[in-house]
């Protein structure tokens, strides 16, 4: 069976990830390179491990996390669908089981908030891991930018971010420390409101409740922007 270690040691996949990250960097987006996909792979696997899923499902989540952004090589728009098609072809060529490929590519094709939703435990774990990776280390300003855009300001303002699972209480919590001298929490929701709603749906599929805590303030249910 193909493992995450096999994928990580494959020079073709490494090239796809590096070129995809470079493409977005050149367009001024936040960091989407090897650091990001490694984090997503590890966090997706951790989520399912802590919820008691079997080892192979955990491994498929890690593979999906590692490969989820290769579609950015072509374009940011619909990169999940483009990436799913590319990963399907590559994994078929490498002889991976078709049913497992369907699980991985279904997750990759559904990780964008514009056109996706959690469709399986692997998909749900990928969404939660991907959307939780917000931190000042992801800010990726271009040299010709006089003032960073809202995506970069928000990431620069996030001094700490932690996603954790409590299996006993059936909760998945994203806890953020936010520096409001850089920008306001409202700016966070300008970008992340639909992503947090996606995380709520993903958590529900996993039988959990999603919690968002920013600067010790908890937002429950539908996020109330009047509290920001």
State which residues form the domain around 63. 4-227
Q: Are 107 and 120 in contact (CB under 8 A)?
A: yes
pLDDT in tens, 153-198: 888 889 999 999 999 999 999 999 999 998 888 888 888 889 999 9
Question: Residue 72's closest CA among 28, 127, 42?
Answer: 28
Question: Residue 5's closest CA among 52, 50, 53, 66?
Answer: 66
3-state helix, strand, coil in the chain (%, to 5): 55, 10, 30
Q: Does residue 227 register a pLDDT over 50? A: no
In the chain, the percentage of residues whose pLDDT exceeds 90 is 64
Q: Model confidence at 95, in pLDDT bands (50, 70, 90)?
A: very high
pLDDT in tens, 57-84: 999 999 999 999 999 889 888 899 999 9
Question: Residue 206's closest CA among 57, 24, 59, 47?
Answer: 47
Question: Residue 129's closest CA among 137, 121, 101, 169?
Answer: 121
Question: Residue 183's closest CA among 223, 221, 139?
Answer: 139
Domain CATH code at residue 167: 1.10.3210.10
Q: How many domains does the chain have?
A: 1
Q: Are 125 and 112 in contact (CB under 8 A)?
A: no
Mean pLDDT over each residue of the chain, to the nearest integer: 88
Q: Model confidence at 144, in pLDDT bands (50, 70, 90)?
A: very low
- Predicted TM-score (pTM) of this structure: 0.89
109 SS3 class = coil
């Amino acid at each position: 069976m193909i493992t995450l270690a096999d994928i990580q040691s494959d020079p073709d996949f490494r090239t796809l990830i590096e070129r995809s990250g470079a493409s977005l960097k050149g367009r001024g987006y936040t960091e989407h390179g090897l650091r990001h996909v490694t984090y997503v792979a590890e966090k997706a696997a951790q989520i399912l491990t802590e919820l008691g899923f079997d080892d192979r499902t955990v491994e498929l989540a890690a593979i999906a996390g590692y490969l989820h952004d290769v579609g950015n090589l072509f374009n940011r728009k619909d990169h999940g669908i483009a990436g799913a098609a590319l990963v399907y072809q590559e994994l078929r060529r490498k002889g991976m089981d078709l049913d497992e490929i369907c699980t991985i590519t279904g997750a990759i094709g559904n990780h964008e908030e514009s056109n996706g939703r959690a469709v399986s435990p692997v998909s749900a774990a990928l969404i939660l891991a991907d959307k939780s990776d917000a931190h000042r280390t992801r800010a990726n300003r271009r040299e010709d930018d006089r003032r960073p855009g809202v995506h970069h300001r928000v990431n620069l303002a996030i001094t700490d971010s932690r996603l954790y699972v409590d299996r006993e209480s059936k909760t998945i919590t994203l806890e953020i420390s936010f520096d409001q001298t850089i920008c306001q929490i409202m700016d966070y929701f300008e970008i992340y409101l639909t992503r947090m709603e996606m995380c709520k749906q993903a958590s529900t599929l996993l039988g959990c409740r999603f919690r968002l805590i920013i600067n010790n303030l908890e937002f429950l249910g539908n996020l109330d922007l009047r509290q920001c």
